[in-house]
A and B are shown apart, each in its own frame.
Chain A
Amino acid sequence: MAKSPKQVAIRTYQVGFGDCFLLSFLYDGNSEKHVLVDFGTTKLPPDAPKSRMMDIARDIEKRTKGALHAVVATHRHQDHVSGFATADGGKGTGDVIRKLKPAYVVQPWTEDPKLAPDAKAPPERKGEQKHIAALSAMHDVARQSLTVGRQARHLDKELRGQLAFLGEDNIGNPSAVKNLMTMGKKALYLCAGDDAQFDEDLGIKVHVLGPPTVKQSAAIAKQRSSDPNEFWQFRAAAARAATPPVDGKAVPLFPRFVLSRGPSYPIEARWLVYHARTIQGDQLLEIVRALDEAMNNTSVILVFEMGGKRLLFPGDAQIENWQYALGKKENQELLANVNLYKVGHHGSRNATPKSLWKLFKNRSTDKSNKKRLAALMSTLEHKHGSEKNNSEVPRRTLVTELERESNLFSTQALSGSSSFFHETVVPLT
């Protein structure tokens, strides 16, 4: 193993609703190695210049002196990968990151191109391939959700906002996906319990706690009598039956029988039209929310361990992903001593399970406690969920708990155009 680092510094970038963290390991002789965990946004903060993402890319380039050891893309949601997209003429933020030639690109097993829906997967991995096919079919639903969210003026404003937001986050970003697939010398597609490989040259130990594979999660699923993947397949298939093609005009089922395309429907039909539309909006939101959670659950959960310190980066993993990780005794011991926690899923209520939070031994209400747990949260209010049904992100009750028992830093404290990152230095022994 390489020499151990003596310090790690974490840059938390202000990307609005998204994640971007740069971990810089400092070694004797002042040499450094860098790991970038996620780079994406779906909504920049209101006061940020349009160039924010490029400014961050340039800052990463400068800070790493042109070389990245590893890139971790926890899962493929836009708010975690949009920064990896390339542009014509090499002018995209993804082009800047690509030039930093990461030795490793780390992604969940669900991104493995060998298991892509159109790839020829080995027979023993067909189940996994099916899961991935279901996930990728979600992009269709996301597109529908976005269209409805943007165009359906008859729906409640809040509902439309949610549909558009979730739709946008779940829409595929082929450019970022392709860039991630090819930019590293070595691409790693990890599942729970895998050897992280990229940790050796850093002189640290990285534990992979998630995501579980289909088999691993089946082991914890209670009495499931049918394959949950089938469920996703049908959801996606259902959406495809009426997904508006690119030009936005939906194709009716029975073109010869169309009486009206609105906006003014016959009087006797209006009551039902109004109610059916509202129901459809609610239904779509429910589906797209379920899909969103399924994608969050593909997040790679990593614990970086070095010099007596442990840093937990769980992406947007939600309860189902955590269930597997928390079910293992060795993980519980590992998690109990975490010193720094990247708050999962921008502070949503389902991404920091109570059982996880209670495990952290370094929680403390004493602000002067030097060992007190540090927490980093990258978020933007009023974009995701709703206060009406206690699903707002960040969840108020969680934030209160984090503030009470940890040194919480939230990117919402970074405003204006000048300071767009916050640095946390963790000395190591």
Chain B
Amino acid sequence: MAKAKATAAPVSVRRDFPHTHRFTIIAQDPSIRVNGRILTTEIEVPAEELAPGPCGYRVNVIDYDASTGVLYSPAVHKLRADGRVHDPFAEKSDGHLTGNPHFHAQNAYAIVMKTLARFEFALGRRIPWGSSGHQLHVAPHAFADSNAFYSKEDRGLFFGYFADQRGQPVFTCLSHDIVAHETTHALLDGLRGRYMEPSSPEQAAFHEGFADIVALLSVFSLRDVVAVLLTPQASDGGKSIAIKHLTAGALKSSVLFGLAEEMGQALSAVRGEALRRSVKLSPGRARSMVEEHDLGEVLVAAMLNAFLAIWLSRLAQLGTTRKGMKSLNLVIEEGARVSDHLLTMAIRALDYCPPTDINFADFLSAMLTVDHEVVPDDSKYGYRDTLLASFRAYGIRPPSSADKGGVWQHCEGELQYGRTHFDSMLRDKEEIFRFLWENRTALAITEKGYVEVQTVCPSHRIGPDGFILRETIAEYVEILTLRADELKKLGIVKPKDMPDWRRIRLFGGGALVFDEYGRLKYQIRNRIENAERQTKRLRYLWNNGFFDAPPDEKGHFAKLHRARAGA
């Protein structure tokens, strides 16, 4: 014993540390209640030793309210003897949760960290925020306004609060959906920084739509929430559910509409209306939508319908407990699995999207390709066919450059690898650029403009055979700056009435996916010299007054969210 004591506390050994901390959060928002009590749940986030705030290695919560000029004291989280964090809000009363800013700080911190961890899990690497710095600021009560947003310049997530019609305060930082949505903006911006550039209505809508998809699928993977939504249909004291409640129409109205209704009660000014519209959106109407804040809803609708269809097909393969009945727990479990799978697919797809001028068709092909790489045989649940069908119903088809089944075409051409080195190609931007330059003809890289390799990063995942699969993902952008009268040299039609002297920036670029041998597998690109695409983009920006006012990156999401709320 004495000997053991002498060598005690080898704390640096990894296995001695817990890998996750558990925190109590509000499951969806305070309006979802069970037996009159707010539905809470515990979630796991990456373990770390927190400074007051909470302030951790990626998130720094500072509770300053600019409308009243007040800074609230930071929440303090102590470690217990077993190395786990002490959750001061486990099993606390509703009043204690809603009335204590330290809980609000914990709630926001935990959901931001969980969303980050979800991205890192899907991509197998660390994901940077879109704003500079490692720690993203989070202000849970930033101002009195029915808005919440990510601001790149201000390096933070800002959550507003407002009074509902009875004069009761509503806190956007307590809504799982809103916190996950804003965090996704920051992460998507970190992965694809050019998606905030003005381009097409679809690119503008993609940020919103994607953030909605991540937020909603995250909610559906919280089993407690789905359980509450299905409880009114349950029998046998909540153990079973009749098959008649498990049709597309029934699940749509119980789970999707149910959630939209719950969310709509107080937060419709911020988010609820958008969700309700996505859920109700019929394929026919989707095609007539052109506004950027409407278009995001089309993407969400296509994804939610795919989620429902896949869930149903998995339920069909589930046995019955007794005649006409299925186990409620298993039904919920299957739903959580589907949403989890789709979420991973959607996040991984980002690596397979072009770095500039994204459109929904590209995103669809990226998802299909990702899934094809992981599960070459899709016959069991038919995820890919279902996705294709659901997106097609909303007018979204894979681009013409995609292969059969909508997946991206493999890179087949003869490429020069002799002047670059395998090891450097795994991490060195200069080396990737050299590779591009040596192969500029084969890869159709512009010689005239500015070309920059923006990122080189690994992507790890478990392959279908159980082995670890390593890919290298690099993205490059091409920028061409010219006068409006020079557009015709590239075959681009200048928008009507645009003066000749107007300075124009054109964007192009691609994502390069290298296999484990360092061979180029996919080049997913938007060529800068694609005259048709550039003509369309310029016409859209010109007609929408982009050239009238200087771009305002700062207020980007604040304005977009407000436009959605008011639409």
Tell me, rounded to whole Å, the shortest Cβ–Cβ distance linking A417 to chain B.
Answer: 40
- Give the segment of B66-74, B430-438, B439-447, B451-459 that binds chain A: B66-74
Contacts of B164 in A (CB 8 A): 237
> Which of A226, A275, A287, A390 sits near B567, CB closer than 8 Å?
A226
B68 near A242 with CB under 8 A, answer yes
The proximity string for A residues 269-292 relative to B, scoring 1 for CB distances below 8 Å and 0 otherwise, is 101110111111011001100000
| Chain A stretch 272-322: residues in CB contact (< 8 A) with chain B | 272-273, 275-280, 282-283, 286-287
B155 within 8 A of partner (CB): yes
A-contact bits for B253-291, CB 8 A (1 contact / 0 none): 000000000000000110001000100000000001100
In the complex with contacts A228-B566, A272-B156, A275-B156, A261-B69 CB distance below 8 A: yes
What residues of chain B lie closer than 8 Å to A234, measured between beta carbons?
A: 146, 162, 269, 565
B residues less than 8 Å from A400 (CB atoms): none
Q: Does A246 contact B (CB under 8 A)?
A: no
Instruction: List chain B residues, Cβ under 8 A from A1.
Output: none
Contact in complex: A390, B549 (CB < 8 Å): yes
> B62, A269: Cβ atoms under 8 Å?
yes
Give the shortest distance, in Å, between A222 (CB) and chain B (any CB): 9
**Closest residue of A by beta carbon distance from B102:** A257
* Residues in B whose Cβ lies below 8 Å from that of A244: 68
Instruction: Give the interface segment out of B135-143, B191-199, B516-524.
Output: B135-143
Nearest-neighbor residue (CB-CB) of A282 within chain B: B555
Apart from A280-B142, A286-B562, 18 more pairs, CB < 8 Å:
A231-B565, A233-B165, A235-B146, A237-B146, A238-B147, A241-B163, A242-B161, A252-B68, A253-B169, A254-B100, A259-B71, A272-B62, A272-B137, A275-B151, A279-B558, A283-B145, A283-B558, A389-B550
Q: Are A242 and B273 in contact (CB under 8 A)?
A: no
Asked whether any CB of chain A lies closer than 8 Å to the CB of B154, the reply is yes
Contact of A251 among B68, B72, B139, B273 (CB under 8 A): B68
The residues of B with any CB-CB pair to A shorter than 8 Å are 62, 64-74, 99-102, 137, 139, 141-147, 151, 154-156, 158, 160-165, 167, 169, 268-269, 273, 277, 288-289, 294, 548-550, 554-555, 558-559, 562, 565-567
Count of interface residues, chain A, beta-carbon cutoff 8 Å:
48
CB contacts (< 8 Å) of B144 on chain A: these are 238-239, 241-243
Nearest-Cβ distance from residue A231 to partner chain B, whole angstroms = 4
The total number of A-B Cβ pairs within 8 Å is 152
Neighbouring B residues of A390 by C-beta, 8 Å: 548-549
- B70's partner among A226, A252, A275 (CB-CB below 8 A) is A252
The verdict on A276 contacting B68 (CB below 8 Å), with A225-B567, A253-B169, A254-B101 known, is: no
Q: A416 within 8 Å of B by Cβ?
A: no
10 A-B pairs with CB atoms under 8 Å apart are A225-B273, A239-B144, A240-B167, A242-B68, A254-B72, A275-B154, A278-B154, A279-B142, A286-B555, A286-B558
Q: Does A262 contact B (CB under 8 A)?
A: yes
B160 partner residues in chain A, CB cutoff 8 A? 238
A174 an interface residue at 8 Å Cβ cutoff? no
Other-chain contact of A250, B69, B72, B142, B163 (Cβ < 8 Å):
B69
Measured CA separation A231–B162 after assembly (Å): 13
Contacts of B559 in A (CB 8 A): 286
- Taking CB atoms, residues of chain A closer than 8 Å to B558 are 279, 282-283, 286
Q: Are A241 and B169 in contact (CB under 8 A)?
A: yes
Tell me, yes or no, whether A224 is within 8 Å of chain B by CB: yes
Instruction: Give A residues with C-beta under 8 Å from B.
Output: 223-226, 228, 230-231, 233-235, 237-244, 250-254, 257-262, 265-266, 268-269, 271-273, 275-280, 282-283, 286-287, 389-390
**In angstroms, how far is the closest chain B Cβ from the Cβ of A244?**
8
**Which of A225, A241, A271, A272 is within 8 Å of B277, CB to CB?**
A225
User: Which residues of A are found within 8 Å of B146, using beta-carbon distances?
Assistant: 234-235, 237-238
A257-B72, A272-B139, A390-B549 known; A280+B163 contact, CB < 8 A: no
Bound-state CA distance A250–B143 (Å) is 12
> Closest approach, in angstroms, between the C-beta of B164 and any C-beta of chain A?
7
Contact B73 A277 (CB under 8 A): no
Q: How far is the CA of A234 from the CA of B268 in the complex (A)?
A: 9
Residues A265 and B72 in contact in the complex (CB < 8 Å), given A238-B160, A389-B549: no
Among candidates B67, B100, B162, B269, residue contacting A280 with C-beta atoms closer than 8 Å: B67
**In the assembly, what is the distance between CA of A237 and CA of B147, in Å?**
12
Given known A228-B566, A258-B71, contact A280–B66 (CB-CB < 8 A): yes
Residues of B contacting A225 with CB < 8 Å? 273, 277, 567
**Cβ of A161 to closest chain B Cβ, rounded Å:** 19
Whether A224 contacts B151 in the complex (CB less than 8 A), given A237-B146, A283-B145, A390-B549, comes out as no
Chain A: minimal CB distance from B170 (Å): 8
Determine how close the nearest CB of chain A comes to the CB of B138; give it in whole angstroms. Answer: 9
Q: How far is the CA of A301 from the CA of B313 in the complex (A)?
A: 60
Contact (A258, B72) CB under 8 Å given A231-B566, A276-B158: yes
Question: CA of A261 to CA of B64 in the docked complex: distance in angstroms?
Answer: 10
Contacts of B73 on A, CB cut-off 8 Å? 257-259
The answer to whether B62 and A237 touch across the interface, beta carbons within 8 angstroms, is no
A279 touches B66 (CB 8 A): yes
Give which listed residue, A241, A243, A253, A283, contacts B101 with CB less than 8 A.
A253
Q: Is the CB of A272 within 8 A of B69?
A: no
Residue ID in chain A nearest B297 by CB atoms: A225
The complex places the Cα of A276 from the Cα of B66 at a distance, in Å, of 6
Contacts of B72 in A (CB 8 A): 252, 254, 257-259
Q: CA–CA, A271 to B135, complex, Å? A: 13
**Chain B residue with minimal CB distance to A244?**
B68
Please, which residues of chain B bring their CB within 8 A of the CB of A231? 269, 565-566
Complex CA distance for A241 and B99, rounded to whole angstroms: 15
Contact call B71/A277, Cβ cutoff below 8 A: no
* Residues of A contacting B163 in the complex (Cβ-Cβ under 8 angstroms): 237-238, 240-241
Q: A254 to chain B: closest CB distance in Å?
A: 5
Report the separation of the CA atoms of residues A301 and B411 in the bound assembly, to the nearest whole angstrom. Answer: 64
Contact among B161, B165, B167, B273 for A253, CB-based, below 8 A: B161
Which residues on A sit within 8 Å (CB–CB) of B289? 223
Given contacts A235-B146, A237-B162, A390-B548, are A266 and B71 in contact (CB under 8 A)? yes
A272: B residues at CB distance < 8 A = 62, 64, 137, 139, 156
Complex CA–CA separation, A287 to B562 (angstroms): 10
**In the complex, A243→B143 CA distance in Å?**
11
User: Chain A contacts of B102 at CB under 8 A?
Assistant: 257
Q: Which among A239, A240, A276, A389 has the greatest number of chain B C-beta atoms within 10 A?
A: A276
Q: Which residue of the partner chain, among B64, B139, B550, contacts A265 with CB atoms under 8 Å?
A: B64
Residue contact B71 to A262, C-beta cutoff 8 Å: yes
CB distance from A294 to the nearest CB of B (A): 11
> Given A275-B155, A390-B548, A258–B147 Cβ distance below 8 Å?
no
Q: With the chains together, A273 CA to B64 CA distance in Å?
A: 6
Distance to closest chain A CB from B307 (angstroms): 23
Sorted from nearest, which 4 A-B pairs have the closest CB atoms? A242-B144, A238-B162, A234-B269, A280-B66
- Determine if A242 and B67 form an interchain contact, defined as CB atoms under 8 angstroms apart: yes
Q: Which residue of B lies closest to A239 (CB)?
A: B144
Tell me the bound Cα distance from A317 to B561 in angstroms: 26
Residues of B with C-beta under 8 A to A278: 154
**Within the complex, what minimum Cβ distance (angstroms) separates A426 from chain B?**
36
